Structure 1
């Protein structure tokens, strides 16, 4: 897996930043979905759950990007 900077308007952006933005959007969407269902009340510590969910999604997005890049 190669992590090559992407030039956006003359500024080099790390791909990890873009992966983190995707993971953050997925985290927010999953939290909204989880709060709309009764399963959301089983979360004991919401901040810890959000951090763990973001970490898992960031790992998944990075892994999927590595698979896509060959």
Structure 2
């Protein structure tokens, strides 16, 4: 996959698209964890959410690189 996506003449970095996909994944996982009252067990909710986001972003990037092989 190239580093940019051409959207009607506007070049968008592919990392931005991956970050948006990871954000959607994070929001759905976060709502599920909130409904399960999981955050009562978490010491620092913001750090936990940041780590979940980084894991989701890493997974999205990994899957896109697997697809391009």
TM-score clears 0.5 = yes
Query: What is the CA distance between 1:43 and its match in structure 2?
Result: 1.4
Q: What is the aligned residue count?
A: 69
Matches within 5 A, 1:1-70: 2-70=1-69
Query: What is the CA distance between 1:46 and its match in structure 2?
Result: 0.9
RMSD (CA atoms): 1.1
Runs (5+) with no aligned partner, structure 1: none
TM-score, normalising length: structure 2: 0.91
1:7-52 CA-partner distances (Å, limit 9, x unpaired): 1121101111000000000001000000000323111111111111
| More RCO (CA 8 Å, sep 6+) | 1
Q: 8 Å contact 1:3–1:14 — kept in the other structure?
A: no
Runs (4+) of structure 1 exceeding 3 A deviation are none
TM-score, normalising length: structure 1: 0.90
